[in-house]
Structure 1
Amino acid sequence: MKVVIVEDELAASENLTYLLKKLNPTIEVLTVLDSVRSSVAYFSAPNEAELVFMDIHLADGLSFEIFDKVPINKPVVFTTAYDQYALKAFKVNSIDYLLKPVDEEELAKALKQFEVQSQTETSPNMQMEGLLDLIKANSKSYKTTYLVSQRDQLIPIKSSNFAYLYIYSGIVKAVTKDNKSYTLDKKLEDIEKELDPSCFFRANRQFIVHKDAIANIKYYFNGKLLLNVLPASKEKIVVSKAKSKELKTWLNS
């Protein structure tokens, strides 16, 4: 199987290549394209690609723009950190979409689906019905309310009201937009999975921040970024150089 990867993050493309080779050593990665521009140039010419893995967010725009400029008559597996793009992804030649970071088991399912589709002839309508079923199966609902203890009572707090959450002395604290602090009896890693990633970002090992709480971003040492939030945090919220691009993409989405 000959594969083309469209991905502008080197670590992500290397990881995907590794997983593909692990699952099927006969897979040949023909090339890795890192932009809309380079992808349009590549697919404008004859090529041997049989399957395309395509990140939705690229350095110079969204990968959907590629389809507006050049026809890609190959099945596409989209990769994205934001599943709200799923419906749009399936309006093109998509056979699947994978949420980042790419899971080996989900990747294996996508490859299996490609093999099945390549051996059967299905009408566009039948294929779209199958894709919509897949979207429903992969859809995820996020936690909207947390019950927190406050003296002798339980108080429901909407997750949308969280400005940021952080770890203090091993305890998870949630600060709301009206500057009230609550203790959550959960690990920050578990809470991260429950919150909508389009609204919340894991800035570092200590902090999760809501998009609306970010007042501004300052350049810090060695390519790092410093988040200033409202209400103000007593601790500095530093985003590593490795995650700074991801943060900017998330804020621009």
Structure 2
Amino acid sequence: MKIFIVEDEKAALNNLKALISEINPKAEIIGESDTVCNTIEWFKGNAMPDLVIMDIHLADGSAFEIFDYVDITCPIIFTTAYDEYALRAFKVSSIDYLLKPINKDELRNAFAKYELLFNGNKTTKDEDDSLIKKIIKEIKKENNYKTHFLIPVKGDKFIPLEVESIMLIYISEGVVKAVDNDNNQYAFSQTLDELTEMLNPKLFFRANRQFLVSKKAIRDVSIWFNGRLVLNLKNKALVDERIIVSKARAADFKEWF
């Protein structure tokens, strides 16, 4: 197995190399890089390795910028000290995601996954390429979720609204409104479907056609008729109506929460 490592922390690099040597002594580290620019240059001038282990936060920017300039078609294991980039796609598609400091058992499991899915199943190059591109697309989407909105008000002003302060988004008489943690309400021009796509699904759950709820707003959950759930909010003044999750979506809610 030929491995290329992208890591800008010397201690983390040395630790990773020691773990690789211990877990897979036959693995060959064919190159190292500590910046976005150097990584791009390396891939433009060298053959594709079997595996890339890539830190997300580099000295000169985000590793995601690399994919705008080079087409990496081999499997990638991402590493980072931050967990906000974790995507379910990593876990279901053979590309793994490891939090620093890297644990030996987790790295061993990542290598085992690589062997199973890319050597054991003998996927074709086209299948590998498609998989990598799908993952990168999801990664970039994760980075682009809205964190702020500018809400127009009467006159010629906009009010900044932080997504973190939003407790609830709902439809009332055909108007989409958001309620913040101070019970202030804001009207949106976007539809609830559009806002659902714009906001991080780890933070907001689409309970039904009328409500999009922040995880922070939920006090507890009641079991209701026919396997449905009722979301009880910490602040009862946020909305007068019951927020009901259907039986079909109850399992999704439990997994999300």
TM-score (normalised: structure 2): 0.50
Provide the C-alpha distance between the structure 1 equivalents of 2:245 and 2:161, rounded to a whole number of angstroms. 27
Provide the C-alpha distance between the structure 2 equivalents of 1:188 and 1:226, rounded to a whole number of angstroms. 20
The match for 2:90 is: 87
Q: How many residues align?
A: 146
Structure 1: gaps spanning 5 or more residues: 1-81, 97-114, 122-126
CA RMSD of aligned residues (A): 3.1
State the shift of 1:146 in Å. 1.2
Q: Secondary structure at the match of 1:243?
A: helix
Provide the C-alpha distance between the structure 2 equivalents of 1:215 and 1:146, rounded to a whole number of angstroms. 26
Q: Secondary structure at the match of 2:87?
A: helix
Change (3 A) 1:193 1:95: farther
Structure 2: gaps spanning 5 or more residues: 1-84, 97-112
Q: How does 1:86-105 map to 2 (within 5 A)?
A: 86-88=89-91, 89-91=94-96, 92-93=113-114
Q: Secondary structure at the match of 2:182?
A: coil
Provide the C-alpha distance between the structure 1 equivalents of 2:161 and 2:200, rounded to a whole number of angstroms. 15
Q: Secondary structure at the match of 1:198?
A: coil
Structure 1 runs of 4+ with >6 Å offset: none
> 1:28-52 deviations in whole A, cap 9, x for unaligned?
xxxxxxxxxxxxxxxxxxxxxxxxx
Provide the C-alpha distance between the structure 1 equivalents of 2:158 and 2:125, rounded to a whole number of angstroms. 56
Provide the C-alpha distance between the structure 1 equivalents of 2:131 and 2:124, rounded to a whole number of angstroms. 17
Asked if 1:224 corresponds to 2:254, the answer is no
The match for 2:177 is: 173
Provide the C-alpha distance between the structure 2 equivalents of 1:145 and 1:170, rounded to a whole number of angstroms. 23
Paired residue for 1:242, among 237, 248, 251? 248
The match for 1:40 is: none
The match for 2:15 is: none
Q: Secondary structure at the match of 2:167?
A: strand
Q: Secondary structure at the match of 1:212?
A: helix
Asked if 1:207 corresponds to 2:181, the answer is no
Is the 1:163–1:230 contact (alpha carbons within 8 Å) kept by the matching residues of 2? no
Change (3 A) 1:223 1:187: same
The match for 1:135 is: 135
State the shift of 1:161 in Å. 1.3
The match for 1:25 is: none
State the shift of 1:150 in Å. 2.7
State the shift of 1:162 in Å. 0.7
> 1:131-164 deviations in whole A, cap 9, x for unaligned?
6665323320211111112333211111121101
Is the 1:218–1:226 contact (alpha carbons within 8 Å) kept by the matching residues of 2? yes
Change (3 A) 1:180 1:230: farther
Provide the C-alpha distance between the structure 1 equivalents of 2:205 and 2:158, rounded to a whole number of angstroms. 27
> 1:67-109 deviations in whole A, cap 9, x for unaligned?
xxxxxxxxxxxxxxx971333441424879xxxxxxxxxxxxx
> 1:6-61 deviations in whole A, cap 9, x for unaligned?
xxxxxxxxxxxxxxxxxxxxxxxxxxxxxxxxxxxxxxxxxxxxxxxxxxxxxxxx
Q: Could you say which structure has the larger radius of gyration?
A: 2
State the shift of 1:220 in Å. 1.1
Q: How does 1:19-38 map to 2 (within 5 A)?
A: none
Change (3 A) 1:86 1:118: closer
Provide the C-alpha distance between the structure 2 equivalents of 1:137 and 1:222, rounded to a whole number of angstroms. 38
Is the 1:167–1:173 contact (alpha carbons within 8 Å) kept by the matching residues of 2? yes
The match for 2:30 is: none
Query: % of aligned pairs identical?
Result: 35
Change (3 A) 1:182 1:95: farther
